[in-house]
Amino acid sequence: MKLKGMTFSGGGIRSATFGLGVLQKLSKLGVLREFDYISTVSGGGYIGSWWVSWIKRLGSFKQVNKLLNPDISGDPLSEEVRPIRWLRMYSNYLAPTTGIASTDSVTAGLTWLRNTIINQTLLIIMLCTLLAAISLVYEIWNGTFVSAPFYNQASILSFSIVFLGVAAFFTGTAMRMYTADHIKSTSRFSNKLIANILMGWGIFSGLIISSWIAAEKFQFISDKTSIYISVAIVGSLSMVGVAIIGNYWKATNTKKPWDYGIWLVISSAAAGALGGYLLKLSWDLISFIQSQDYCYNKFSRFSGQLAFIIGPPLILECFSLCVVVRMMIMGTLFPDERREWWGRMGAVMHKAMIGYILLSFGALILPQLIYVFTKPLVSLAGGWLAIVLWAVRTAYASSANPSKGKSGIKDVLIKLAPYLFMVIFLLLGAYILDVLQ
């Protein structure tokens, strides 16, 4: 029979105006008469009943088909196309009565303003709570671990064994679970829980280790070389422990277990040695930052905060480089599943590091910078806000009228707008937190 049908989907009164455009285009193409039946659901019933009732009133499908064609119907304000004009006039269901002073427009505007203020207020409260928590952690870190140090070579070695040993256990356990069979038999919550515990332990360890280094201005440690060597040895053993607990040899299916074991020990020793050297470099950098307390320049007031901000990410980055070096040395002997796990964990860790740096900077240094650079920041904030509002407006216009072409400066600004908004939001949160303090 070769029958043709047309369906109109739901979506409220909005689907009626969309369906009207479809009918007009089909009429303009001269194919509307080829359809034998229509089917509507939910909001699609608006346009379906509107079309059928118009045909019934005029008594001529051919006449309605002509009136739907904008090239033939002529004047859109004429009486014969009143049904089309009526549908367009009352399809604005959020504010049926248009005009800037109409009750509907004012109601819609106030509703948007109310919801926006409520949402932004809740976000500001959560941001201030997070910044306040970071400020509290800094006070504990600076007052308990840095200003009143109790460290020596023996205690640092003991803490290193605990930190690296626990990290090796959780890392190996997480990698043991990262197999196709184990993922199917283990809940997703358990896998995420171990990864989150490992990430939290890494940040906690970075805070404690960075506090050892920052505490040197209160308690000088003479023999640092023994500390570096001890950390290198403990780090090498931890790398071997990760491989044992994580079942590396089972994942490789190697036919030469002795060769694999030799390369595992060599790569772990090299990674541990690199870890000791990177600890030395981190120690020198943080010590240099701490020494700025005694220099009278514009950065001296931030020396203690900077050690807190960059210390933990720096320690975690040293650990990441050690892992990369071991993978490089082992080459094809390094299991692919474990390589993928390290890659994903590295991505999670670096995201956490960036978030930690931004939030701790916003909690500790940004409030002071606001008062130091008040006038430039006010100008920049105004410019940023203008760019964000322009980008939002342009993005909505672009989505309504998509056009193909090469990306220009406008597209780049639209993509940068969310990040500029986050900068303004962080500035506002830091200022409010400083006022409340």
| Residue ranges per structural domain of the chain | 5-89, 149-364, 372-436
Compute the average pLDDT of residues 328-350: 83
Which residues is 64 bridged to in the sheet? none
| Among 360, 364, 416, residue whose Cα is nearest residue 387 | 416
pLDDT per residue as tens digits for the range 382-434: 776 777 677 767 766 655 555 555 456 777 767 777 777 777 778 778 878 77
Is the pLDDT reported for residue 39 higher than 80? yes
Half-sphere exposure of 324 (CA within 13 A, CB side): 9
Q: Is the pTM of this model over 0.85?
A: no
Is the pLDDT reported for residue 304 higher than 80? no
Is the pLDDT reported for residue 308 higher than 60? yes
Q: How confident is the model at residue 218 (pLDDT cuts 50, 70, 90)?
A: low
E strands within 130-187?
none
Region of 99 on the Ramachandran plot (φ > 0 left; ψ -120 to 50 alpha; else beta):
left
Q: How confident is the model at residue 118 (pLDDT cuts 50, 70, 90)?
A: very high
Angle between helical axes of 188-214 and 153-177 (0-180°, round to 10): 160
pLDDT per residue as tens digits for the range 233-280: 888 998 888 888 877 766 566 667 777 788 888 998 999 999 889 888
Compute the average pLDDT of residues 203-219: 77
Cβ 71 vs Cβ 25: under 8 Å: no
Angle between helical axes of 303-330 and 257-291 (0-180°, round to 10): 160
Average pLDDT over all residues of the chain: 79
Is the pLDDT reported for residue 148 higher than 70? no
Q: How far, in Å, CA of 24 to CA of 36, rounded? A: 17
**CA end-to-end distance (rounded Å), the chain:** 79
pLDDT per residue as tens digits for the range 320-334: 899 899 888 888 777
Q: Tokens 């920052």, residue?
A: 214
